[in-house]
Amino acid sequence: MRDLATEPKKAYRHLGSENGQAFIGLVADFRAAIFAGDVPMGPISATRVEDGFVLDWFVSSGCTLKTVIDARGAGDEAWKDSHRIQLKALTIGGEVLA
């Protein structure tokens, strides 16, 4: 995941032009945001797991990005105050790329 997020050419090659460009754009939004809640559009879903959240983000049609956020605090929106978003996996057309 790190290579795809840091090397646009690799992202385009592995994900295709449309998905690669959208993925790089989303990662840029993550970098620009101070808190996870500052990312434009927000996640498609947020699920609490143990001490954090699993968030799914829309990348492009048929492509989503799964992330994990450590979040302390009560409530279903505690993830919004997190500073760090960990990229876990991309799903393209039902196929998971880790």
Q: What is the pTM of this model?
A: 0.91
- The predicted pLDDT at position 71 comes to 84
- The predicted pLDDT at position 85 comes to 95
| 9, 16, 25, 84 from 47: Cα distances, Å | 32, 29, 23, 16
Asked if 96 contacts 82 with a C-beta cutoff of 8 angstroms, the reply is: no
Q: What parts of the chain have a pLDDT lower than 70? A: none
- The predicted pLDDT at position 61 comes to 92
- The predicted pLDDT at position 53 comes to 95
Integer-rounded Cα radius of gyration of the chain: 13
Structure tokens at 39: 């990312």
SS3 for 74? Answer: coil
